[in-house]
Amino acid sequence: MRDTGGGQIIQVISNSGLSGGFGQSNYAAAKAGMLGLQRTWVLALARYGIRCNAFWPIAATEMTQVVFDIAAKQAANEGKPAPAPAELGFGQPHEVAEGLLFLASDAASHWNGQVLTFNGRRTALWSAPAETHITYRDQAMTREELAAHYAGISPETHYQPVFVP
C-alpha cells in the first residue's frame, strides 16, 4: 500500500473489545488489542496515505446464535413467542455488509481511526478514549490532594451493552 500511494485497512471488531463480554476475557482482550493496534497504525501509516478503520457488525450469524437461543428460551418460559433477531438489534449478514461496503467506499475516504457499528438499521461511531477532568499543578500532588480533587467528581460511566438473559 505504501508503494502504491495508500489504501485502507479495515479491522472487524466486536462489542467485546469495546465494552467487554461476560465469559469472553480472551476474546475481549484480542478485540481490544485490535483497537490499540488501529490507533498505532493511524499514527504510523497516515503519512503513507494508509487509513485504518474498524467495523463492528451486529449480524445474525452462527456465532450470535446463542443470543437467540437464550432469548427464545426466556420467551418460552414466559409463554411468549421467540423474538426475531431484528427485535434483539441484529441485522441479516447481507444488510450489515452494507456498512462494511460504505466504510470501504470513497464516501468514507476521509475517515481514519474510526470505529463504525452497524446492524442494518442502526449505526453509530465510537469515540476514542480521551482524558477528562484534567488538572495540572506545578508541584507533585499527594494522595490526599488527589482524594480532595476527585472527591466531587463521579467516575466515568462505562458502556453496558444490553444483555438478553
Q: Which residues pair with 12 in a beta bridge?
A: 55
Whole-model pTM: value is 0.82
| Catalytic residue of the set 27, 48, 136, 159 | 27
Asked whether residue 165 is assigned to any structural domain, the reply reads no
Q: Kindly state whether residue 160 falls inside one of the protein's structural domains.
A: no
Q: What is the average pLDDT across 118-129?
A: 89
* Cell 470501504 -> residue: 104
Residue 1 lies in a domain: no
Segment 145-159 shows an average pLDDT of: 85
Domain that holds residue 136: 7-150
Backbone dihedral region for residue 112 (phi beyond 0: left; psi -120 to 50: alpha; all else: beta) = beta
Q: Is residue 96 part of a domain?
A: yes
For residue 14, being part of any structural domain is answered with yes
pLDDT tens-digit series, residues 71-89: 999 999 999 999 999 999 9
Is 150 noted as a catalytic residue in this protein?
A: no
Q: Is residue 144 part of a domain?
A: yes
Q: Tell me, what CATH number does 88's domain have?
A: 3.40.50.720
Query: Distance (Å, rounded) from C-alpha 144 to C-alpha 138?
Result: 16
Number of compact structural domains in the chain: 1
* Radius of gyration of the chain measured on its C-alpha atoms: 20
How many of the other CB atoms lie within 10 Å of CB of 150?
Answer: 12
Cell numbers placing 62: 452462527
Residues in the chain: 165
- Residue 76 resides in a domain: yes
> pLDDT of 14-72, one tens digit each?
988 888 877 889 999 999 999 999 999 999 999 999 999 999 999 999 989 998 999 99
Cell (9 digits) for 125: 461511531
Please indicate, yes or no, if residue 102 is contained in any of the structural domains: yes
Please report, for residues 19, 24, 37, 115, the alpha-carbon distance to residue 42 in angstroms, rounded to integers and kept in the order given: 22, 27, 9, 12
